[in-house]
Amino acid sequence: MAIRPEIAERVRSKAQHRCGYCLTPQSLIPSPLEIEHIIPQSRGGSNDEQNLWLACRLCNLYKSDKTHGRDPQTNHRVRLFNPRTQIWSQHFRWSKDGTEIIGRTVCGRATVGELNLNNPLAVNVRQNWASVGWFPP
């Protein structure tokens, strides 16, 4: 079943029109941010508003149907960051140059790794945005 337009608009508004994982704002990318299922439908997730958030195409592709990841420091398997219920700044911070996302917690580190938040393409684009003062948000 498709996501109802009024739910999609509420999700976009609540997410402040930016990716819940890498914080890329809609205003900086040419393709629409995607409505993402925090718990993927393939794992029993629903189209209920509480299970939906915004993600850029890269984050959504890397997340795929994942709900958990491994913290590279402890090797513990943990739930991935939930942008609907968790606070980004408690789990992540920006590198000094504003181009890389650094995990502060086991959840943050696992999410950085599983979603490949510092993939070369993203870091390169963030370097360009940072050079003109558009990033980090």
Q: Report the chain (137 residues): mean pLDDT per 10 consecutive residues.
A: 91 98 97 96 94 97 97 97 98 97 98 98 96 92
Structure-token pair, residue 81: 């960051």
pLDDT of residue 97: 96
pLDDT of residue 137: 85
pTM of this prediction? Answer: 0.95
pLDDT of residue 30: 94
User: Where do the domains of the chain lie?
Assistant: 5-131
Residues 6+ apart with CB under 8 A from 136: 23, 94, 98, 126, 130
Separation of alpha carbons 132 and 118, rounded Å: 20
CA distance readout (Å), 41 to 24, 91, 133: 24, 25, 38
pLDDT of residue 121: 95
pLDDT of residue 2: 85
